[in-house]
Homo-oligomer: A and B are copies of this chain.
């Protein structure tokens, strides 16, 4: 069922050697390649047939769902609408991600629109990795959207990673955080060549004592550009922190535009940003330890993106 390219892609986006354990849904070139449900996690195609509904029973703990997407068909632009219903008090890991293998001149693209309904006291770890590989010259395009609705006392940790090969990425994250809930977002993006990546984030601290921490780490090589926007709005007694760090290499450029909107008198918001080249003293230190220039740069970038 999986060919060599599929296996390579799955390994890259989901760290999978073949078919995953537990519930999964593998989509390839716009079609279902394989699906498995578990006693607590149901997966079914939605009414419109343009996506899946992942329904996680209340109280499901220590289970995972894999929903990787493989794209290897020249000219295909695939859009999928997935809904995740994470039941009360559950504690699950969701591993998504899209791998493009491009072998020709035509562009290939995937837009995954993911909606999360996270019920009270639920805990979700969401891991999403995007890569593109292959010798083709066609543009590889990934436009992910996530919409998160968190009830009370829920926790969500989002790890969003795009480490190479993607020519165009337009991310959009939207979140509404209920009372006592916590949302952590960590985005890591590395671009090179003429790649362009944009990330827009609309985050609302809606409930009392809601919290968020948004971390963006960008490495910008070649002539690539990365733009990062956050619109963080506090409508309640709440706490929000944004941290945006970008390393510019070669001829890269970056725009970092956070908006902190404290619309409630008990809102507390902080932000830190740092954009620039790798510090020379950091490089020197590693080089005096015996690394050559490229190895030292590489070591610093690996640490920065970890």
Residues of A within 8 A of B (CB-CB), count: 31
Distance to closest chain B CB from A58 (angstroms): 36
* Max chain B Cβ within 10 angstroms of own Cβ: one of A262, A268, A272: A262
Flag whether A35 is at the interface (Cβ < 8 A).
Answer: no
Quick check: B270 and A266 within 8 Å, CB to CB? no
Quick check: B275 and A268 within 8 Å, CB to CB? yes
* Max chain B Cβ within 10 angstroms of own Cβ: one of A259, A265, A267, A270: A265
Residues of the B chain whose Cβ atoms lie less than 8 Å from the Cβ of A277: 265-266, 268
Quick check: A257 and B256 within 8 Å, CB to CB? no
Distance to closest chain B CB from A304 (angstroms): 16
* Max chain B Cβ within 10 angstroms of own Cβ: one of A251, A264, A274: A274
Quick check: B253 and A262 within 8 Å, CB to CB? yes
Known: A265-B277, A277-B268. A255 touches B260 (CB 8 A): yes
Known: A256-B259, A259-B255, A259-B256. A275 touches B264 (CB 8 A): no
**How distant is the Cα of A268 from the Cα of B263 in the complex, in angstroms?**
31
Chain A residues touching B, majority SS: strand
Known: A260-B273, A262-B275, A272-B272. A267 touches B248 (CB 8 A): yes
Quick check: A261 and B267 within 8 Å, CB to CB? no
Quick check: A253 and B263 within 8 Å, CB to CB? yes
Quick check: A260 and B270 within 8 Å, CB to CB? no
Residues of the B chain whose Cβ atoms lie less than 8 Å from the Cβ of A264: 253
**How distant is the Cα of A248 from the Cα of B269 in the complex, in angstroms?**
11
| New A-B pairs, 13, CB < 8 Å, besides A254-B260, A254-B262, A269-B276 | A255-B261, A255-B262, A256-B262, A256-B271, A257-B259, A258-B258, A258-B271, A262-B276, A269-B275, A270-B272, A270-B275, A271-B271, A271-B273
